[in-house]
Structure 1
Amino acid sequence: MEKIMILEDDPKIAGYLHTFIEKYSYAVLTVDNFENPMDSFHWFQPDLVLLDINLPSFDGFYWCRQIRLESVCPVIFISARTGEMDQVMALENGGDDFITKPFHPDVVMAKIRSQLRRAYGEYALGHQERILQKDGLKLFPERLELRFGTDVTPLTKKEANIIESLMGRHPRVAGREDLLEKLWDDQTYVDENTLNVNITRVRKKFQELGITGAVETVRGAGYRLCVTWNGVEGS
């Protein structure tokens, strides 16, 4: 079941969209935490986001940029703003489409279906999904998910990039410089400690799956994926 997240501060519009979209067998989450809706995004891992521009604290342009730091899921702006510059700003900040209020619900559904087809369905480029596997561990880079057995944990884009590098280099060491380059492109603006922080987060993700000691520190070189899960050596 595909998941739709609604980020709209007008409760009547949000409730109307929620009810209408749910009738078409989508899982729907209406966000009410406007201080940090990324918490809901991380938990729900939506396939598509409906996003208003006028929101408390930070506007929709800001939250779209935050989503784009971690995900390429479709984002459709829904706004009462009708100016051409608002639509340009929506697209320039990472949006995929723009719907003006008032709207017809059938148009919203048509645009949702269109974006889902383009991103994941029959019109998607390279429709076959990439999956990296290592001894029962599965990484889904496009979904930003890590699986081990029946357990699943969501990832940020940076966490997924680190794990992809570790799995791709195994049993060799993934160098610190290589990881920094993959994550940030330009190492000039990166504090060396930032990588340490992200490695710590990656280790916690493995621990959430019941895997301890998954990332080995190789002094003076970098990090290596350890394929000994719970004391049992992987084949």
Structure 2
Amino acid sequence: MSKIYIVEDDRAIREELAELLRNSGYDTGYLTEFSNSKAEILAAGADLILMDINIPSLNGEELLKEIRRECDIPVIMVTSRTSETDEVLSMSYGADDYITKPYNPTILLLRISAVLKRASGTATVQTYSGLQVNDAKGSLTDGRRELILTKNEMIIFRFMLDRQGSIVTRDELMTALWDNDEFVNDNALTVNISRLRSKLAELGCEDAIETRKKQGYILK
């Protein structure tokens, strides 16, 4: 039975999460005093940490950075912050995933299961045009450089990668984002695809995403 440790200062949310996890077959523990957070987390012996960003003393992002100096235990950030800056910063500090409140319990449990599988070495490593796709960090790397994708960019990229060479419509991409509890409007989708194109180009994959007018996109 995997143990999940909750780092959340809101008592109601903390207890709700603990109940959800226990009912799903996980052993759980949680932090109640935040003056010595890192030591208590490391002593908990957990398999995965769910961590809020807005916590007392040391905020979650800084706490994550401190933890990463000592161990590589999987960490999922669960937070009310929705900006891409916070997401990118968390992933660059070593978060394995990032989910915003109010979260869909089913989506959260699926994310936890996926991260635990990756941590155990049972997940497959996928590549694209010489790049390694790191789901755990939400990144692409060519072995020399690594670029962090936002959660929306990674959802779009993985959806297209699974259908490489086939046309993917905008409606399909919007549905993929909706299914992952990440609703975006049509303009935001365009912005995310543009940023994804730029990041792929930085790693040497210029023109990786082809636009088919009135049809959609193809990842070549």
| TM-score normalised by length of structure 1 | 0.51
How far did residue 7 of structure 1 move? 0.2
**1:156-197 Cα distance to aligned partner (Å, 9 max, x none):** xxxxxxxxxxxxxxxxxxxxxxxxxxxxxxxxxxxxxxxxxx
2:25 is the counterpart of 1:25: yes
**1:206-231 Cα distance to aligned partner (Å, 9 max, x none):** xxxxxxxxxxxxxxxxxxxxxxxxxx
Matched residue SS, 2:102 = coil
2: CA distance, partners of 1:101 / 1:57 = 21
Uncovered stretches (5+) of structure 1, i.e. residues with no partner: 126-235
Q: How does 1:35-50 map to 2 (within 5 A)?
A: 35-50=35-50
Uncovered stretches (5+) of structure 2, i.e. residues with no partner: 126-220
Do the aligned residues in 2 keep the contact of 1:68 with 1:94 (CA within 8 Å)?
yes
2: CA distance, partners of 1:65 / 1:16 = 26
How far did residue 40 of structure 1 move? 2.0
* Aligned residues between the structures: 125
Q: Which residue of 1 aligns with 2:91?
A: 91
How far did residue 121 of structure 1 move? 4.7
Q: Which amino acid aligns with 1:91?
A: M
1: CA distance, partners of 2:32 / 2:48 = 17
| TM-score normalised by length of structure 2 | 0.54
Which range is displaced more, 59-68 or 32-41?
Answer: 32-41
Do the aligned residues in 2 keep the contact of 1:51 with 1:75 (CA within 8 Å)?
yes
How far did residue 2 of structure 1 move? 1.0
Do the aligned residues in 2 keep the contact of 1:7 with 1:31 (CA within 8 Å)?
yes
Q: Which amino acid aligns with 1:96?
A: D
Q: Which amino acid aligns with 1:94?
A: G
Q: Which residue of 1 aligns with 2:107?
A: 107
Q: Which amino acid aligns with 2:33?
A: N
Q: Which amino acid aligns with 1:57?
A: S
Matched residue SS, 1:95 = coil
1: CA distance, partners of 2:21 / 2:9 = 17
Which structure has the greater CA radius of gyration?
1
How far did residue 10 of structure 1 move? 0.8
2: CA distance, partners of 1:73 / 1:44 = 11
Which range is displaced more, 50-59 or 33-42?
Answer: 33-42
Q: Which residue of 1 aligns with 2:76?
A: 76
Q: Which amino acid aligns with 2:39?
A: D
Do the aligned residues in 2 keep the contact of 1:117 with 1:124 (CA within 8 Å)?
no
Matched residue SS, 2:35 = coil
Q: Which residue of 2 aligns with 1:173?
A: none
2:5 is the counterpart of 1:9: no
How far did residue 124 of structure 1 move? 6.7
RMSD: 1.4
1: CA distance, partners of 2:59 / 2:120 = 27
Judged with a 3 Å threshold, the aligned counterparts in structure 2 of structure 1 residues 7 and 124 are, in CA distance, closer, same or farther, namely farther
Q: Which amino acid aligns with 1:110?
A: L
**1:26-83 Cα distance to aligned partner (Å, 9 max, x none):** 1101111211122322321111100100111110011101111121111100111101
Q: How does 1:50-61 map to 2 (within 5 A)?
A: 50-61=50-61
1: CA distance, partners of 2:40 / 2:19 = 19
Judged with a 3 Å threshold, the aligned counterparts in structure 2 of structure 1 residues 97 and 31 are, in CA distance, closer, same or farther, namely same
1: CA distance, partners of 2:4 / 2:123 = 19
2: CA distance, partners of 1:29 / 1:96 = 19
Q: How does 1:1-235 map to 2 (within 5 A)?
A: 1-123=1-123
Do the aligned residues in 2 keep the contact of 1:4 with 1:28 (CA within 8 Å)?
yes
